Structure 1
Amino acid sequence: MKFKLYIFLFLLSSTVFAQSKPVETSIDTTKNKIGAEFKLTLKTVVSSKSKVVFPKLKNIGPLEVIESYPIDTVKKNDTYELIKKYGLTQFDSGKYTIPSIKILIDKKPYLTDSIRVEVANVKVDTLQQKMYDIKDITTIDSGFGNWWKYVLALLLLIGIGVFVYWFVKKRQQKKIEEEIYKTPIEKATSLLNNLEKKELWQKGEVKEYYSELTDIARNYIEEAIQIPAMESTTSELIQGIRTASTKKKMTLTPETVENLERVLRQADLVKFAKSKPLDFEITEDRNKIQKVILTLDNAIPTEIPTEEDEILNEAQRQKQIKLQLKKQRNKRITIAIGSVISLIVATTLFFIATKGFTAVKDTILMKATKGLLEGEWVKSEYGNPGILIETPKVLKRMDAQKVLPKETMALIKEMQLFAYGSMLENFYITVSTSKFKNPVELDLAKTLEGSLKVIEAQGGQNIIVKQEDFQTNEGVQGLKGYGTMTIINPVDKTSAKAYYEILLFKQDQGLQQITILHEEGDKYANDIATRILNSVELRKAGN
């Protein structure tokens, strides 16, 4: 009798201990392959005022923590069930023990159960399988969210602009003083020499050669004799020289004036009548112009400049130097900015040709949905029974009582709601799971109508509804509602056209729902919605 009593008391104490254990420990599998994930789950039920601390670990015993999942909170009447999961792995085969972990509940430590697991080798048939070299590490482009790429591109453009400015400045390093001549004859002689160095007529550019040649002569006459030579016709210019020679008492032979007139008329024929002089004629015309300029310079009466005149001339020369420097600086800036703009335009045209105008425009304007689509996505489980879904951003827990009408909340025993964005933003998604107080036979079509009424209460109008059956990749059947609506902004009363998709699933007394809403015609948002819906996996109630 005593022995039986001891056994009874032992079993009773074990049962009481098991019922009062504050932390439950479980694992999804006790046997796995090398490198595969063991999912360790810790559950505890506490009051709303309790504080629970789960440790941040890199290793749990001999196993490496590859992921520490977010804590999932489930409200049960006046208590909260906290669920914490760790992803563990091991890269050596063998049998291992996951040791106890210390959990703090209201600063009091509690230990989890230890669990034995086995890591098995992966069999590789080297006779049948080909062997390949290890591939290089490939970086993943996280897309539009990498702001540093745009900063780098901006710095690169600035660098190109600075380089072009410096390069042009270096090419302009000829002393400005050499381009500012003290006398008109000095300037004319220098320009004639430079003209010969260009070898224009030898390259077939006869018209350009005569244009520069006559401009040099006209400029000299205008500066030295002070008659409007640049704006005058050939006849007016010749008459102006004859008049000026009389007034200024210049000694000019008829031959000098005739030679100048002959070259000017030859230039007119070349420029306007497409005349083509012979090589020796071009050489003679150049020599005539040079001789005319020297003759005119010698014929002008010389005046001995006073000290005051020299000071004024030097001041004028310095002023011309400053003006020339300013012009060259402005020219460098213009060339640098023009080069950067040309590079931007060329790059833009290249990307338009390869990727299309819309993609380039959306990148430049930083379209929000393009950034979401190309950014780093997150795969998480939400609600109870859980909805495993991949989204561009982590969904945040929302207060369902602030969203749903009171009459709807009166029927619900438990509801968990998660969302990203809002109906007025570029992209809006909600994930919710509900359990009802009383047994009901859910009609998904009527549930869809109720969901649309909630959307209508939040500003949706002119809702067009279509529906069809939907099946997840795991074969779970549900209902899909989709269509368009008009969203009214309650602040400024503006409206926007939106496209929506709603997925509904029922199991036992529970409802699982996914709602996606975005601007109609946004191809990036369409791609986001497609990827989200293709990722949906559902947990069964009780799992």
Structure 2
Amino acid sequence: MKIKFYLLLLLFSTSIFAQKKVETSIDTTKNKIGAEFKLTLKTSVDTLSKVVFPKLKNIGALEVIQSYPIDTIKKDDRYELIKKYGLTQFDSGRYTIPSIKILINNKEFLSDSLKVEIANVQVDTLRQKMYDIKEIVKAEDSIGDWWKYLLGIILILGIGAFVYWYTKIRQKKKIEEEVYKTPIEKATSLLNILEKKELWQHGEVKEYYSELTDIARNYIEEAIEIPAMESTTSELIEGLKKASLKKKMKLSQETIENLFAVLKQADLVKFAKSTPLEFEITDDRNKIQKAILTLDEAIPVEIPIEEDTILNEAQKQKQIQILLRKKRNQRIAISIGSVLFLLFATTAYFIATKGFDYVKDNILGHPTKELLEGEWIKSEYGNPGVIVETPKVLKRIDLTKSLPKDGMALIKEMQSFGYGSLLDNFYIMVSTMKYKKEGELDLSKAIESSLKVLETQGAQNMIVKEEDFQTNKGITGKKGYGTFSRIDSNSQTSTKLYYEILLFGQEGGLQQILILHEEGDKYAVELSDRILNSVELKSASN
């Protein structure tokens, strides 16, 4: 019995190990909150077996953030299938990865359950440096608002062109009414103009027949008073017959047939793309002219015309040209007036909604605003070097003539660079000096000397203030600032200017930055602040 029992136990344990076809592992048993770790399931089957791994969103209390594709490795006559799941957890603690069911040939097999520990991320608030919250920085607009102004100008010019075209069409009709006193006179003149265009000679047969029949239809509508333009060819001929009876017009059958034939031919050309021969086109033109003249003679209305009022063709053309010039001038005046009105209305709208300063600065333009919004340049000037960012490159200038001779006798080397002048809206100058005699410089007296130079160039009523100044890298100096009046010798007007002057003394060298602008110019204030905040200095020994 004992032997049978041991044999049964051996068979049972063998069947248990045979059932274990899924190997389970994880890449780490300790993980941080929110970090991914991988659960790996591996099984080995023959080439005919079918294996199905489950699709899971969660495994126990853990979240599946990634289900990786199955890797297949062939070993002799068997396949090794490897499936990985990316797991995470956002709460600290110890978790159990439960068993997962895998189907192999429709038979369920379970993976092993595993333990994993999720730990908090340590934050050292004592060693880590703390920073203030930065201010909101406005993103740079690479395109700008120029396209809005361009679109507005195109729209205004387009409206002006439309007004010009519209008045031209209206005035053309008025000119025809003023020059052509009777329908027959108008029709005859238009037939002559049509022939001068030589449309059919240039292959535009359809356009020729369209204008030819329009002339005839217009004449019939104006002279005989029937709706010829809106009628079909058959309706027109029928209406003409009725009107001739009503008005007691004596029309021959030949006239009506000729008119009908030409209108029918025109319909074929326009809608059936028929192309008549040259002699047929000439014949059709003659038929239309003859039909119009015959119709005019048949109208039983006598219009008294005095001999001195009859205009010959040359007089008509001259009169037309005179009227055209007058009307053209009127059209130009109306178009320009429309554009000016639109510009005035647009400007008034922006003034009402945005204010006059907005219109002046953004539409009319503002010099210091354009400098502020332009491309800035960072350069080094002089010796000892002054590194500064400016809206324009500073150009070398000669100040030796403007300085007193006794002061120049003390200077060993001097270099000056500037943009603008004292007469401009914005002026900046960077100067560097090396003195013959080394020693500690009195920056306050240096400021006084610089301001005396301004006085020699016309500065009056100067107000002076002084304070210490420090660059971003900790180099200290003196800052003088205040206002003075600038007198225009031509107009005798006074302008109040604001000035800022920085002075730094290093090892017998002097570095100076001077900025002038009109008081109250907000864009110039921004310019000045940006320039002064960008100042970097090199020592005289470098």
TM-score normalised by L of structure 2: 0.45
